[in-house]
Amino acid sequence: MSESAFLHYMRTESEELEQTYSERIAQEGYFSFYRFIEDFRTELKAYGDDRIATIDRKLSRARELFPEPQRFSPSWNAVWDELELIFVIKNDVLAAIPLTGRDGEWQILLDNPYSHQQVVCYPGLSFLEAAYLYGYFQRELKPNEVLRLQKVSDLLSVNGSKSASLLPEA
pLDDT tens, 90-137? 999 999 999 999 999 999 999 998 888 889 999 999 999 999 999 999
Q: Which residues are CB-neighbours of 21 under 8 A, at least 6 positions away?
A: 1, 5, 8, 9, 65
d(C-alpha 166, C-alpha 64), whole Å = 58
Supply angle C-alpha 72, 78, 84, rounded to 5: 120
Domain ranges of the chain: 1-96, 98-154
pTM above 0.85, yes or no: yes
Can you name the residues that pair with 18 across neighbouring β-strands? none
d(C-alpha 152, C-alpha 49), whole Å = 22
